[in-house]
């Protein structure tokens, strides 16, 4: 079989399914050592401290 849909999906049904697909903003923390912004649970790109 091909990629032809069997039944029609309404805009509301598709929208409800896609409601969780939005990207979230990245949480930035400030490095305690050098005050440079960094991602949580990652080493700092500037000083290398966690």
Answer whether 31's CB lies under 8 Å from 39's CB: no
Among 19, 42, 39, 41, which residue's Cα sits nearest to residue 30?
A: 39
Q: Where are the domains of the chain?
A: 26-50
Token duo for residue 2: 């091909």
Is 1's pLDDT higher than 60? no
pLDDT given for residue 2 in this prediction: 67
Distance in angstroms (rounded) separating the CA atoms of residues 44 and 31: 7
pTM for this entry: 0.51
pLDDT greater at residue 8 or residue 50: 8
Supply the DSSP symbol for 21: -
Strand stretches in the chain, DSSP E: 29-30, 37-38
pLDDT digits over 4-41, tens only?
878 889 999 999 999 999 999 989 999 999 999 999 99
pLDDT of residue 10: 94
């Amino acid at each position: 079989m091909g990629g032809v849909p069997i039944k029609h999906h309404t805009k509301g049904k598709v929208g409800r399914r896609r409601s969780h697909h939005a990207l979230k903003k990245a949480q930035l923390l400030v490095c305690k050592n050098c005050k440079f912004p960094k991602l949580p649970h990652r080493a700092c790109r500037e000083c290398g401290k966690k």
